[in-house]
Amino acid sequence: MPASSTDPATRVTPFSPYVSLRSLVRGEALTVAPAASVRDTLLLLDQRRADAVVVVDQDSRVPLGILTLHDVVRRIALETCDLQAPVASVMTSGLITVPADGSAHQASVVMVRRGVHHLVLTESDGSYFHLVSQADLHTLPGARQGDLVQAILGARDVDTLVGLAGDIRAFVCRLVAERVGAETLCQRISSLNDLLTMQVIELLAGAFELPYVPWCWLVFGSEGRLEQTLTTDQDNGLIFAAESEDDAPALREAFLPFARAVNEALDACGFPLCKGNIMASNPQWCLSASEWQGAFLGWLTEPRPDALLNSSIFFDLRALYGQDSLANELRAWLLDRASSYPIFMRAMVENSLNWESPLTWWKGFRYDDDKDFPHTIDLKKHGSRPFVDAARIYALALRIPDTNTGERLRVMGERSGIAGDELAALIDAFQHIQRLRLGRQADVAQSAATNRVNPDELHELDRLILRESLKQVQNLQKRLIREYLSA
């Protein structure tokens, strides 16, 4: 029976690297039983004009293997396979699976790292959901990027990765000069930086005797939101499984030397050590799953200034390397509880409103009188941050699992019934400010002025759009006031 138009497998959703994989797949999931013959399986592939089929246990719905057109040529045609043999005899087992609710970005990175063209999507209980291919994802075009990806994956020492980090920056600066959109730019940066960081972790993990427990390298802040720009420091941590609270200290001590080595290698690659020491090498942020929950719970119950600062960094957590489920379960735990602490939510809203618009009442520009950079506006502090803060609040209030600001705003708008043009204006405003930041960073490299812009030096159109974008911040904050502070 054909799926209904409301079925998530057939719903048409505009592509974004941050959306759930569940919303990207199309049509009915194509499966066969392990006992199905090779001939019948080939006929099914031909009838459906498909390039792969998943072999699934008919009782448990657990995926057992996959047969692709590449396998057909290599294992069946070239090796003159018996067409009456069960498909289980020629399928590829040892499947690479990802959660159906994982992001397109995550799937793209996994495909590149593992050198595969298909990933099997599974539900939380391990049952089969669907298949996603590279054709379903918008791959990152450009020969230079492909060269960088292969070079990163082929690196066998940190020194090589240090050089490649510079190549990544040069590649992105070229895209900035070509006026590629901000969302695409940030996705390019995040994809390449993710691959480089994962390669650093993989190279160094083998040099340490790590505990035999599940663990995951976490990223926070702009990296967690997939919004890295050209100037970003490290915000990371480590989560591990511990059978009891008594086991956690010893496990932590075993992970810390490894975490320190990774942080130092990333620093050498151009990701400066965090001045606030929010790094996995800090024992405070190398914690068991229950310890991370305890830290989050402490911030929720006592919303002091330091708790609000921590929430602006740590609540954007994302798994990068290791056991993803540890991070996903921690995020789900947080989303299930955050809205139950109205005092904390109110404090977050009030904190986000501690923002002085760089627009005068007649819609000219107001400058913050920085003595080193007069007549400029800080586009991070006064431009992108208010959008990021508001989107985070809505993510916690509405239990939105996405970490990316644009995607959080999209989901918030859909759930709140915001008019499409109004929602588009919000997201476009944020992306325009991000684009201006990236352009400035490409021009001035590591200077303290990387997020500052003099409006008088902008093209007339960019200046006009910046003014309108800053008005959208005011509209978003008025919405927050109505929804959280008016009662």
Per-residue pLDDT tens over the stretch 5-48: 333 333 333 346 666 788 777 777 889 998 999 888 888 888 88
Name the nearest CA neighbour of 380 among 229, 275, 272. Answer: 229
Residue 283, helix vs strand vs coil: helix
Residue type, 224: G
> Which SS3 state, helix, strand or coil, does residue 75 take?
helix
H helices of 403-459, in order, are: 405-416, 420-444
Q: Which helix (H) or strand (E) holds 219?
A: strand 215-219
What distances in angstroms separate CA 277 from CA 192, 214, 268, 281, one per listed residue?
24, 24, 16, 8
Strands 118-122 and 128-133 turn out to be antiparallel
Could you tell me how many residues make up the chain?
A: 487
> DSSP string covering 450-475, please?
TTEE-GGGS-HHHHHHHHHHHHHHHH
pLDDT digits (tens, 9 = 90+) for 191-226: 899 999 999 999 999 899 999 999 999 999 999 999
Distance, in Å, from the CA atom of 92 to the CA atom of 99, rounded to the nearest integer, reads 19
Closest CA to 352 of 395, 381, 376: 381
Ranges under pLDDT 50 in the chain: 1-15, 139-143
For residue 165, with 0-12 CB atoms within 10 Å meaning exposed, 13-18 middle and 19 or more buried, which class applies? buried
Q: Are 319 and 225 in contact (CB under 8 A)?
A: no
Nearest to residue 75, comparing CAs of 86, 61, 89? 89
Residue 262: name the closest of 342, 320, 183 by CA: 320
**In angstroms, rounded to a whole number, what is the distance separating the alpha carbons of residues 337 and 330?**
11
Both tokens of 321, joined, read: 């390397």
Cβ–Cβ < 8 Å for 165, 267:
no
CA separation for the pair 369, 165 (Å, rounded)? 35
Say if residues 339 and 345 touch (Cβ distance below 8 Å): yes
Single-letter code of the amino acid located at 399: R
The strand order across the sheet containing 31-32 reads 31-32, 52-56, 63-68
State how beta strands 52-56 and 63-68 pair: antiparallel
CA distances from 159 to 166, 196, 267 (A): 12, 12, 12
Closest CA to 309 of 352, 273, 357: 352
pLDDT at 79: 61
Task: Please give the pLDDT value at position 263.
Answer: 98
Which amino acid is present at 128?
Y
**For 128-161, how does the pLDDT look when each residue is reduced to its tens digit (9 = 90+)?**
999 988 767 654 444 467 788 889 988 999 999 9
Kindly report whether the global pTM for this prediction surpasses the value 0.75.
yes
Answer yes or no: are the C-beta atoms of 391 and 412 closer than 8 Å. yes
- Please tell me the predicted confidence (pLDDT) of residue 370: 78
Residue whose token pair is 């390449």: 192
